[in-house]
């Protein structure tokens, strides 16, 4: 499979290093990032085209493009990828909380024939949550528990005194759409939960800052006529970015494996 990567930050770099080890059937034909980073990235990736615009990237004719660059770049480049007929594997899942962007991506996919693929990211249980949607799913709550440092540089700083916390405190409770749009670097899992289950407006989200946290704890609680779901994941963070769980790039690798292996556990 021939792929390209958009964004070569903490997730994109980690992903690239793992592809050769775990998915040898995949060829990375190109990487897209800012023009001022082209020389730096080219030195790290001999033989890989490093580009700064999506049209040049799509000229490499990838079958799949993996977005690891953030909401703004997904908005700017995602539709062009889909219109060109490639599938788009999205790391910045929270961006789909923007109704206009979701519509834009759906329309572009219909025009070009590509698909928007959503990885599970740092969370488990989305498969059973998706099954429960067809079996009488009635309520879904997602709770995120992270160290105060992980909420630095976000609206949380205006909601709670992150430096003065002595115990875990919830600073946001609301729907998944609001959470994903307010906390784009932290609430991608909330968005994936919403897309797998009841949607953005019917998924309840609680965000907590916890000075005793040793990683990022994600919990899904769901109920309905099918029964109950209660899934908790405690994941370590990427050393390069405390806002991102270590499992995030590995979830992208799993998505690639599922596209290339003969026997697939979906």
Q: Is this structure's pTM higher than 0.75?
A: yes
Residues labelled as active-site residues: 218
22-26, 50-54, 136-140, 208-212: the lowest-pLDDT one:
22-26
What is the residue extent of each domain of the chain?
A: 2-120+248-260, 126-244
Q: Does domain 126-244 have CATH number 2.40.50.140?
A: no
Question: What percentage of the chain reaches a pLDDT higher than 90?
Answer: 81
Contacts of 97 (CB under 8 A, 6+ apart): 176, 177, 180, 181, 191, 194, 200
Q: Identify whether the C-beta of residue 196 lies closer than 8 Å to the C-beta of residue 121.
A: no
Q: Identify whether the C-beta of residue 158 lies closer than 8 Å to the C-beta of residue 223.
A: no
CATH fold of 2-120+248-260: Rossmann fold (3.40.50)
Q: How confident is the model at residue 235 (pLDDT cuts 50, 70, 90)?
A: confident
Q: How confident is the model at residue 72 (pLDDT cuts 50, 70, 90)?
A: very high
């Amino acid at each position: 499979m021939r792929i390209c990567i958009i964004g070569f930050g903490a997730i994109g770099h980690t992903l690239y290093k793992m592809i050769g080890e775990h998915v040898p059937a995949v060829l990375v034909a190109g990487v897209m990032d800012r023009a001022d980073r082209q020389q730096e990235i080219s030195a790290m990736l001999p033989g890989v085209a490093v580009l700064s615009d999506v049209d040049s990237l799509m000229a490499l004719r990838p079958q799949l493009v993996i977005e690891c660059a953030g909401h703004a770049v997904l908005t700017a480049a995602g539709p062009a990828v889909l219109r060109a007929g490639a599938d788009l594997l999205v790391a910045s899942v929270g961006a789909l909380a923007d109704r206009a962007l979701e519509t834009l991506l759906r329309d572009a996919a219909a025009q070009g024939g590509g698909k928007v693929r959503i990885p599970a990211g740092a969370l488990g249980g989305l498969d059973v949550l998706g099954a429960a949607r067809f079996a009488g799913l009635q309520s879904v709550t997602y709770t995120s528990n992270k160290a105060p440092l992980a909420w630095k540089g976000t609206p949380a700083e205006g909601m709670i005194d992150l430096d003065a916390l002595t115990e875990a405190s919830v600073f946001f409770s609301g729907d998944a759409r609001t959470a994903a749009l307010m906390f784009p670097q932290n609430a991608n899992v909330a968005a994936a939960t919403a897309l797998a289950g009841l949607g953005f407006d019917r998924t309840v989200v609680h965000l907590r800052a916890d000075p005793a946290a040793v990683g990022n704890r994600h919990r899904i609680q769901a109920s309905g006529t099918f029964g109950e779901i209660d899934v908790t994941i405690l994941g370590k963070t990427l050393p390069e970015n405390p806002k991102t769980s270590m499992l995030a790039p590995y979830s992208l690798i799993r998505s690639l494996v599922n596209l290339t292996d003969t026997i697939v556990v979906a």
